[in-house]
């Protein structure tokens, strides 16, 4: 494994860097990134950004907003949060597997005296409180897995920046998002800062600081990354996108994620369709959406249109019947 050295705290650069490493660096090698962002809300690939953020607060505090390439829910980053990214080539990969990449992080925390556990579908918790959220996506037999580590994050800002839907509060059995998150620093037996924590984790993952193999970005690397930053991650269309015209809206929360559909039906025929949510998937949702265009808005015809698809490719762990419930 190779550690990609990066001290940038610009969220648009950092997400462009992830994509660059995945697409351009030697595919035969495995990479690790440890990085931090200035105050930022990072939304999942399939989320409706405006419904996930506290727009007025974001504007007032000048908090960045950027969309990532993986599914899952919105998260808040600041300089007290350490993010990690594994980029691995795997010829056998067919579906998302969080446990494989979360395991070494949990082992490190446990060895440092923290009772960390892998719970729900993508979280690391301590005493029932979330300290890490994870997401991943697959591209051409390569896996990019990234996660947050709440080390000394401003948890008050986290709660104010995100717009948490009532059904999420109810499903977790909590009064607020603040009551279910915690910082790792609270559980460490020694007082260390986030830079020390990063170095501890880096040394742990490489089994000793002397074993760390580094990759330093060249001017050519930086040129391509910054171009990607400008052309994709800074663009309003990527980060917010346009919500389609709709006259039917359905939503349902399952244990494997929230799914919402917005559909425009004219004369009984579907003219536009868009899926939103904090679910995970590995396929291009446009393939599903396009199959529904110009179909009659009936359960029979929609089911016939979707039946040939591998639903789990687009909506991990969903059944066809669960998907239909959110459409018809």
Strands (E), the chain: 2-5, 31-35, 40-43, 64-67, 75-77, 81-89, 116-119, 123-126, 129-139, 142-150, 214-216, 248-254, 257-266, 269-277
Alpha helices in 48-132 (DSSP H): 55-61, 99-111
pLDDT beneath 50: ranges in the chain: 169-176
Count Cβ atoms below 10 Å from residue 32 Cβ, excluding itself.
Answer: 21
Name the residue range of residue 33's domain: 2-239
State the pLDDT at residue 171. Answer: 43
**H and E: helices and strands count for the chain:** 12, 14
Nearest-angstrom CA–CA distance, 323 and 285: 13
Pair 57, 30: CB distance under 8 Å: no
State the pLDDT at residue 165. Answer: 59
State the pLDDT at residue 167. Answer: 52
Residue that finishes a domain, picked among 218, 239, 260: 239
3-state secondary structure 69-91: CCCCCCEEECCCEEEEEEEEECC
Cα 122 from chain centre: 10
Task: Report pTM.
Answer: 0.92
33 lies in the same domain as 72: yes
146 lies in the same domain as 218: yes
How many angstroms separate the Cα of 63 from the Cα of each of 7, 49, 84? 19, 14, 21
253 lies in the same domain as 316: yes
86 lies in the same domain as 221: yes
Q: What 3-state class would DSSP assign to 150? A: strand
Strands (E), 208-328: 214-216, 248-254, 257-266, 269-277
Specify the CATH number for the domain of residue 154: 3.30.930.10
State the pLDDT at residue 53. Answer: 96
State the pLDDT at residue 174. Answer: 41
List, for residues 61-71, the tens digit of each pLDDT value.
999 999 999 99
96 lies in the same domain as 117: yes
28 lies in the same domain as 126: yes
Residue that finishes a domain, picked among 194, 216, 239: 239
255 lies in the same domain as 179: no
58 lies in the same domain as 133: yes
Number of domain units in the chain: 2
Nearest-angstrom CA–CA distance, 265 and 139: 33
221 lies in the same domain as 289: no
Residue that finishes a domain, picked among 204, 239, 274: 239
274 lies in the same domain as 173: no
List, for residues 159-200, the tens digit of each pLDDT value.
999 987 555 534 444 444 556 899 999 999 889 999 999 999
State the pLDDT at residue 245. Answer: 87
192 lies in the same domain as 259: no
Q: Is 30 exposed, middle or buried (0-12, 13-18, 19+ CB in 10 A)?
A: middle
Count Cβ atoms below 10 Å from residue 321 Cβ, excluding itself.
Answer: 9
Q: Please state the length of the chain.
A: 328
The β-bridge relationship of strands 248-254 and 214-216 is unpaired
Specify the CATH number for the domain of residue 281: 3.30.390.50
Nearest-angstrom CA–CA distance, 211 and 1: 10
State the pLDDT at residue 179. Answer: 61
State the pLDDT at residue 302. Answer: 97
274 lies in the same domain as 222: no
């Amino acid at each position: 494994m190779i550690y990609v050295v990066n001290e940038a705290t610009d969220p648009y650069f950092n997400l462009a860097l992830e994509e660059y490493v995945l697409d351009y660096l030697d595919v035969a090698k495995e990479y690790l990134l440890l990085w931090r962002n200035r105050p930022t809300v990072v939304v999942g690939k399939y989320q409706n950004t405006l419904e996930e953020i506290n727009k007025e607060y974001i504007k007032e505090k000048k908090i960045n907003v950027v969309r990532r390439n993986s599914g899952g829910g919105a998260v808040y980053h600041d300089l007290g949060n350490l993010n990690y990214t594994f980029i691995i080539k795997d010829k056998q990969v067919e579906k998302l597997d969080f446990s494989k990449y979360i395991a070494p992080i949990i082992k490190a925390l446990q060895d440092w005296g923290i009772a960390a556990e892998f719970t729900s579908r993508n979280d690391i918790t301590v005493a029932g409180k979330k300290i890490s959220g994870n997401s991943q996506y697959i591209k051409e037999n390569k896996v990019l897995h990234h996660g947050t580590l709440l080390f000394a994050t401003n948890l008050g800002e986290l709660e104010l920046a995100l717009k948490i839907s009532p059904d999420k509060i109810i499903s977790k059995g909590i009064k607020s998002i603040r009551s279910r998150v915690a910082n790792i620093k609270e559980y460490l037996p020694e007082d260390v800062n986030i830079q020390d924590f990063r170095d501890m984790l880096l040394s742990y993952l490489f089994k000793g600081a002397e074993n760390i193999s580094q990759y330093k970005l060249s001017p050519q690397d930086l040129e391509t990354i910054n171009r990607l930053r400008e052309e994709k991650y800074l663009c309003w269309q990527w980060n917010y996108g346009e919500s389609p015209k709709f006259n039917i809206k359905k939503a349902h929360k399952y244990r494997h994620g929230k799914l919402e559909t917005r559909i425009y039906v004219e004369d009984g025929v579907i003219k536009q369709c868009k899926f939103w949510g904090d679910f995970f998937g590995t396929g291009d949702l446009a393939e599903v959406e396009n199959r529904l265009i110009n179909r009659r808005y009936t359960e029979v015809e929609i089911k016939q249109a979707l039946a040939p698809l591998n639903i789990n490719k687009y909506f991990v762990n969903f059944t066809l019947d669960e998907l239909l419930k959110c459409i018809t």
